[in-house]
Amino acid sequence: MMQEPNEPWTQDKEYTKYTLWFIYACIIYSIIGFSWGALMGGIPTFRHFVNSGIPGHRIVLGHTHINLLGWVEMAIFGAVYYLIPRLVRRSIYSLRLVKIHFWMHNLGLLGVVVFFSSAGLIGIFIDDDGESVASRFMSLAGIFGSVVLLANIIWGYNIYRTCNGWNRPK
């Protein structure tokens, strides 16, 4: 398939780089998430722990978020960033917002996963006042989750602005 020279996305190497970074992140998060799931299911002691109560449930939350926000969402973002400019035949509204989205989403996701997992591990290692400490970690997971939400709102805005008025003459 030949690309026309006036297709704006063919000239923007930085945009292509970030679109691919979303796909690379998707691959990395999927390997982490799938490995984590295999460990939880394959090691009897770990399986018993994650099935035995609130601390184990928090470990599962870390696993599900790395899969959903890492593997699934990053794949969707990469695909949409690739498809939308071709569909509406115009460049992305803001490359700066693509970059902000990428870094905010990754930072937020890593914070969510680290603090969910930490809250779960506290249930193993801290008997006295463990729940009080774990609740602080859960609050931090919520703050980082808000960073992910904001990143996703930025993504939606950027895509909307790219698509808005696609059928009007330039």
Average pLDDT over residues 127-144: 84
Q: Is the pLDDT of residue 103 over 70?
A: yes
Q: Does pLDDT of 1 surpass 60?
A: no
pLDDT tens digit sequence for 34-87:
999 898 888 887 777 777 777 788 888 999 999 999 999 999 999 999 999 999
| pLDDT more than 70, % of the chain | 89
| Residue 22, SS3 per DSSP | helix
Q: Thinking of the domain 13-163, which architecture would CATH place it in?
A: Up-down Bundle (1.20)
pLDDT value for 54:
77
Flag whether pLDDT at 3 surpasses 70: no
> What does the H/E/C string look like for 102-148?
HHHHHHHHHHHHHHHHHHHHHHHHCCCCHHHHHHHHHHHHHHHHHHH
pLDDT of residue 9: 62
pLDDT exceeds 70 at position 130: no
Taking alpha carbons only, the member of 15, 13, 18 closest to residue 103 is 18
With a pLDDT cut of 90, the percent of the chain lying above it is 61
Q: Tell me what the mean pLDDT of segment 90-110 comes to.
A: 96
- Distances 10 to 3, 29, 160 between C-alpha atoms, Å: 8, 28, 21
Average pLDDT score, the chain: 88
Distance CA 32, CA 26 (A): 10
Q: How confident is the model at residue 25 (pLDDT cuts 50, 70, 90)?
A: very high
- pTM score, whole prediction: 0.87
